[in-house]
Amino acid sequence: MTSPSPSPSFPSTRLNTLVGLLAMSYLVVGLAGNFNQDFDITWGDGRAKILENGQLLTLSLDKTSGSGFRSKNQYLFGKIDMQLKLVPGNSAGTVTAYYLSSLGSAHDEIDFEFLGNLSGDPYILHTNVFTQGKGNREQQFYLWFDPTKDFHTYSILWNPQSIIFFVDGTPIREFKNLESNGIPFPKSQPMWIYSSLWNADDWATRGGLVKTDWSQAPFTASYRNFNAQACIWSSGSSSCSSNSSNNSWLTESLDTIGQARIKWVQQNYMIYNYCTDTKRFPEGLPPECSLA
> What tens digit of pLDDT does each residue of 182-199 get?
999 999 999 999 999 999
Q: Are 143 and 168 in contact (CB under 8 A)?
A: no
| CA–CA distances in Å: residue 45 to residues 14, 36, 64, 216 | 44, 17, 10, 20
Q: What number is the average pLDDT over the span 105-131? A: 94
Q: What percentage of the chain reaches a pLDDT higher than 70?
A: 86
Q: Are 220 and 116 in contact (CB under 8 A)?
A: no
In the DSSP assignment, the letter for residue 274 is G
pLDDT tens digit sequence for 45-64: 999 999 999 999 999 999 99
**What's the confidence (pLDDT) of residue 110?**
98
For residue 98, report the phi and psi dihedrals to the nearest 5 degrees: -140, 115
User: Can you name the residues that pair with 57 across neighbouring β-strands?
Assistant: 50, 223
Q: What number is the average pLDDT over the span 78-96? A: 96
Q: How far apart are CA 73 and CA 285, in angstroms?
A: 36
**What's the confidence (pLDDT) of residue 5?**
40
Within 13 Å of residue 37, how many CA atoms lie on the same side as its CB?
A: 10
**What's the confidence (pLDDT) of residue 243?**
53
Q: How far apart are CA 179 and CA 272, in angstroms?
A: 25
Catalytic entry in 109, 138, 174, 288:
109
Catalytic entry in 52, 113, 179, 252:
113
3 state SS of 80: strand
User: Quick check: is 252 catalytic?
Assistant: no
Q: What percentage of the chain reaches a pLDDT higher than 90?
A: 78
Q: Are 122 and 10 in contact (CB under 8 A)?
A: yes
> pLDDT band for position 242 (50/70/90)?
low
Residue 38: which of 69, 17, 16, 14 has the closest Cα? 69
Q: How far apart are CA 76 and CA 64, in angstroms?
A: 35
> pLDDT band for position 241 (50/70/90)?
low
Residue 198: which of 94, 80, 280 has the closest Cα? 94
Q: What number is the average pLDDT over the span 115-128? A: 92
Which has the higher per-residue pLDDT, 209 or 200? 200
Q: What number is the average pLDDT over the span 13-37? A: 50
Q: What number is the average pLDDT over the span 207-232? A: 92
Q: What number is the average pLDDT over the span 107-117? A: 96
What is the residue type of 89? G
Residue 13 above 60 pLDDT?
A: no
Q: What is the pTM of this model?
A: 0.88
249-157-177 Cα angle (round to 5): 95
CB neighbour list of residue 179: distance below 8 Å, 6 or more residues apart:
185, 187
Q: Is the dihedral of CA 78, 111, 96, 168 positive or negative?
A: negative
User: Quick check: is 288 catalytic?
Assistant: no
| CA–CA distances in Å: residue 216 to residues 8, 49, 78, 194 | 20, 20, 37, 25
In this structure, the strands spanning 162-167 and 152-158 are antiparallel
3 state SS of 104: coil
What is the residue type of 113? E
Q: Is the dihedral of CA 127, 131, 133, 137 positive or negative?
A: negative
Residue 247: which of 160, 136, 143, 183 has the closest Cα? 160
Radius of gyration of the chain (CA): 18
